[in-house]
Amino acid sequence: MAGRARPDKVVPITSGRPVTSYDVARHAGVSQSAVSRCFKPGASVSKKMRARVMAAAEELGYEPNAIARSLITRRSNLIAVLISNLTNLYYPEVLAELTQRLSAAGVRVLLFTLSREAEADEVLQQVWPYRVDGVIASAQLSPAHVAEFEKRSVPLVFYNRYLNSVSVSSVCCDQEDGVRQLIDGLYKAGHRKYAIIAGPPDSVVGVERKTAALERLEELGLEDVPVLGEDYSYENGFNSVNELMAAGGGPPHAVICANDVVAIGALDSFRVNHGLVAPRDISVVGFDGVGPASWKSYDLTTIRQPVRRMTEAAVSMLLSMIEEPEMPREKRVFSGILRTGSSAKFVE
């Protein structure tokens, strides 16, 4: 590109600091504003100018500085994604989809993971300084937190969370409907004795699944259903089954688990510790439809969350809230898709 080296006019491509629009302007013999306009789609620039500037930019290896741009445009082109526990098998899929879609929309992702849901305070303090254009939160925020978003006019979309007390946009999988589908199928298959292995009490989704299950069972005339467990882990499923069996009274007919991983733990425990094999001796259902749910050793009956659609909805909602701040809040609830497998006797 540079041809033979000319000692007094070295192309500063290897110089210390990044190339700025001024460097390009000087090199092309035009003004800085011209350079800026060349990088703005739809700006008023002649093609002669554009060609000159682009050539110079190319030659110098110029990349517009997004930081400087953000400062003046008041648009960081960043959105923050808050995720509570990435180790839950379900979330990596969501995160991958989200970043993919956001990237495609030209937005960059600032990732924040919360190990404890209570960490929200600290994390939000880290979010504000970056003047993100919006936030997708799959973590528990309080009404006070949501108020902060309002005050700062930062668009927020909840993913699989919501708050009844305040008006927030959200995308959720219909937990209640999913649980109903599961229970009804189990009931039709003749199961009358149930147990529930619940998730963490501080997970809205988890609590909802548990509550929905209890309600539906009650509607069907089944009460005093034992509820065990307290998190989303394999161990929780595994140990809860042991507890359940130790309590005497024989095994239940069917176990409704907080999610797939718990169901997998339960299945293993039934088989390994108690010699009960699904679907012959026991029925177990999960929730989420993660990859391992379809592994042959488990082949879960579960509700698959339509992650594609949900992430797509979350992203498009957020982007339109960014474009149009007065957009009314909206909740979008997607039904889960039933997957039947050999982990349960089940009648659709």
- The smaller minimum CB distance to a copy of itself, of residues 131 and 332, is found at 131
* Residues in CB range of 86: below 8 A, 6 or more apart: 92, 95, 113
User: What distance in Å separates the CA atoms of residue 36 and residue 46, rounded to the nearest whole number?
Assistant: 13
User: What distance in Å separates the CA atoms of residue 255 and residue 246, rounded to the nearest whole number?
Assistant: 15
| Per-residue interface string for the shown chain with DNA, residues 7-36, x marking contact by CB under 7 A | ----------xx-xxx-------xxxxx-x
Residues 327/132/158/232 CA torsion (nearest 10 deg)? 170
143 touches a copy of itself (CB under 8 A): no
- The smaller minimum CB distance to DNA, of residues 76 and 99, is found at 76
Question: Site residues for a copy of itself, window 225-244 (CB under 8 A)?
Answer: 234, 238
277: partner contacted, choices DNA, a copy of itself, none (Cβ within 5-8 A by kind):
none
The least distance separating DNA from the CB of residue 81, rounded to whole angstroms, comes to 24
3-state secondary structure of 159: strand
Q: Give the number of residues in contact with DNA, rule: CB under 7 A.
A: 28
* Residues in CB range of 23: below 8 A, 6 or more apart: 12, 60, 62
DSSP string, 252-305: -SEEEESSHHHHHHHHHHHHHHH---TTTT-EEE-SB--GGGGSTTT--BEEE-
* Residues in CB range of 327: below 8 A, 6 or more apart: 320, 321
Beta-bridge partner residues of 135: 80, 156
Q: Which stretch binds DNA (CB under 7 A): 44-52, 108-116, 210-218, 289-297?
A: 44-52
164: partner contacted, choices DNA, a copy of itself, none (Cβ within 5-8 A by kind):
none
| Per-residue interface string for the shown chain with DNA, residues 62-101, x marking contact by CB under 7 A | x-xx--xx-xxxx---------------------------
The least distance separating DNA from the CB of residue 65, rounded to whole angstroms, comes to 3
DSSP string, 63-85: ---HHHHHHHHT---EEEEEES-
Binds a copy of itself by CB under 8 A, chosen from 29, 43, 55, 130: 130
Contact positions vs a copy of itself (CB under 8 A): 13-14, 16-18, 61, 63-71, 74, 76, 78, 81, 85-87, 89, 91-93, 95-96, 99-100, 103, 108-113, 115, 125-126, 128-131, 151-153, 234, 238, 264-265, 267-269, 271-272, 291-292, 295-298
